[in-house]
Amino acid sequence: MKVIVIGAGTGGLCLAQGLKRSGIEVAVYERDRTRSDGLQGYRVGIDPDGSRALHACLPKELYDTFVATCARAPRYGNIYTERLKEVLSVDSGPVSADPVDSEKSVSRMTMRQVLLTGLEDEVRFGKVFARYSHGADGRVTAHFEDGTTDTADLLVAADGSNSRVRRQYLPHAGLEDSGLVGVTGKLPLTGETRTLLPPKAIEGVSMIFAPGGYSCILHVMEFKWDQRGELKNGIGGDDAELLAAWPGLTFDNTRDYIMWGFAGARRNLPSEVLSMSGPQLHRMVRELTGRWHPNLRELVAKTDPTTCFPLNIRTSVPIPQWDTTNVTLLGDAIHTMTPGRGVGANTALRDAAILRRELVAVRDGEKPLLAAVRAYETRMIDYGFDAVVKSRRQMSGDDPLHRPVIGRIMLAGMRTAMRAVNHLPPLKRRMAKAQASYRGAGRDDF
């Protein structure tokens, strides 16, 4: 059995690792020219679902390398006003003793290098997918813009929100705008920039909600190697050996940093926002945060404008299950979701682990291929579109918060309610438990 994966994103590479580990032939085709291209963000949170999926698919030493390359896990989930006054702070509690079942923070570029490690012979860069076709024997052939082809038993679309495979296979599976646009930027974490944030913000993930419906998320990423790319003092044993021997470090440019993501309703932003350059976006965010706390303004001001890029926040429109063939999809190629719940990458990893498990059953003669793909799609459609719908509810440009008068009233009410929760430990524990439930705590599909 041979599997072709279109796209070398998080889900596609996780699947490829799992298939190779299971002795199943796999070829990955990626339009980016090199393993260091394709940066679509800075930080990604890996929840227990995602961590278990990686553990199921990656060889042990590579999974251990993944854990060693993670940043310090966030301890707090914070909400602040634009004047940097605490509204709510939830302590996530002690880190799980089991590294597989804990929350993790990782640089997207670092994770890309981890997942590419060992797949040098399986990943073909600079290959732009054009279309697929079926032969008389029922096998599927992928055609690329350079005129080359490859044939396999199964074609997996892992080529993201703008999936060309999906457009051919499921042309009725569309995307819609959430009405929100995000702008992301980052700056080095130094002794000076560290002082701009409260201690809980340094140790957690923080949201800022401001008048006008504007919001900003802050992530602080601290790794086990220093600004020179050398292991920090106090790290020894297996972690030091893994990182020193890891070939992906050669391609990784990650250093300790603060990442921010500013968002607002598209109608409240310049009409050309999605085509703005980094410096133009940087200037826009500085203007829109002009009345925020001086420390937050300084944080944005110290950001390298070239690190800023826009994000049109879109979401899939759920569709009924389709007839199964030897073409299938995973991750954003089928269930693009807003970052409202922070589970997009984790859902793609979950897809990869479940599909890998089903294909192992085919390898072992326990199922025919189409029955295995059908079983995967049935599970994936259920939890994938459920996450799409619930993530959409938490992020919409139509929300009254984005309107000038009623938005301020709603913001004041939301802050009052959250401040009340902040002084009631039982309610905070209940909130933390609810968040853990949708981020995969105690669940295992594979």
pLDDT score recorded for residue 234: 58
- What residues are paired with 157 via a beta bridge? 6, 329
**CB-based contact 1:138 (threshold 8 Å):** no
pLDDT score recorded for residue 236: 54
- Three-state SS at 314: strand
What Rg value do the Cα atoms of the chain yield, rounded? Answer: 22
pLDDT score recorded for residue 25: 98
pLDDT score recorded for residue 184: 95
Percent of the chain residues past pLDDT 70, beyond the cut? 93
Q: How confident is the model at residue 254 (pLDDT cuts 50, 70, 90)?
A: confident
Q: Residue for token digits 């790794």?
A: 223
Question: Does residue 227 register a pLDDT over 60?
Answer: no
Q: Which tokens in the block code for residue 419?
A: 């401040």
Q: Which tokens in the block code for residue 108?
A: 């997207």
Question: Does residue 96 register a pLDDT over 70?
Answer: no
Count CB atoms within 10 A of the CB of residue 314: 18
Q: Which of 178-187, 296-305, 418-427 has the lowest mean pLDDT?
A: 418-427
pLDDT score recorded for residue 316: 97
The CA–CA distances, whole Å, from 139 to 4, 151, 325 equal 11, 7, 10
Q: How confident is the model at residue 173 (pLDDT cuts 50, 70, 90)?
A: very high
Percent of the chain residues past pLDDT 90, beyond the cut? 76
Question: Does residue 391 register a pLDDT over 70?
Answer: yes
| Angle subtended at Cα 182 by Cα 255 and Cα 391, rounded to the nearest 5 degrees | 100
pLDDT tens readout for residues 316-375:
999 999 999 999 999 999 999 999 888 999 999 999 999 999 999 999 999 999 999 999
Question: Does residue 446 register a pLDDT over 80?
Answer: no
pLDDT score recorded for residue 291: 96
Residues 63-76 have a mean pLDDT of 91
pLDDT score recorded for residue 22: 98
The overall average pLDDT reported for the chain is 92
Q: Which tokens in the block code for residue 227?
A: 């600004």
Q: How confident is the model at residue 425 (pLDDT cuts 50, 70, 90)?
A: confident
pLDDT score recorded for residue 309: 94
pLDDT score recorded for residue 321: 98
pLDDT score recorded for residue 434: 75
Q: Which tokens in the block code for residue 398?
A: 């139509």
pLDDT higher for 322 or 393?
A: 322
Contacts of 162 (CB under 8 A, 6+ apart): none
- What residues are paired with 132 via a beta bridge? 142
Question: Does residue 238 register a pLDDT over 70?
Answer: no
pLDDT tens readout for residues 195-217:
999 999 999 999 999 999 999 99
pLDDT score recorded for residue 239: 76
pLDDT higher for 323 or 231?
A: 323
pLDDT score recorded for residue 133: 98
Q: Which tokens in the block code for residue 346?
A: 């984790």
Residues 146-175 have a mean pLDDT of 97
Spatial strand order in the sheet of 86-91:
86-91, 76-81, 204-209, 215-221, 257-265, 175-188, 309-316
Question: Does residue 41 register a pLDDT over 90?
Answer: no
Q: How confident is the model at residue 243 (pLDDT cuts 50, 70, 90)?
A: confident
Looking at the domain covering 2-438, what would its CATH class be?
Answer: alpha beta
Task: Please state, in angstroms and rounded to a whole number, the distance separating the CA atoms of residues 93 and 75.
Answer: 7
Count CB atoms within 10 A of the CB of residue 56: 23
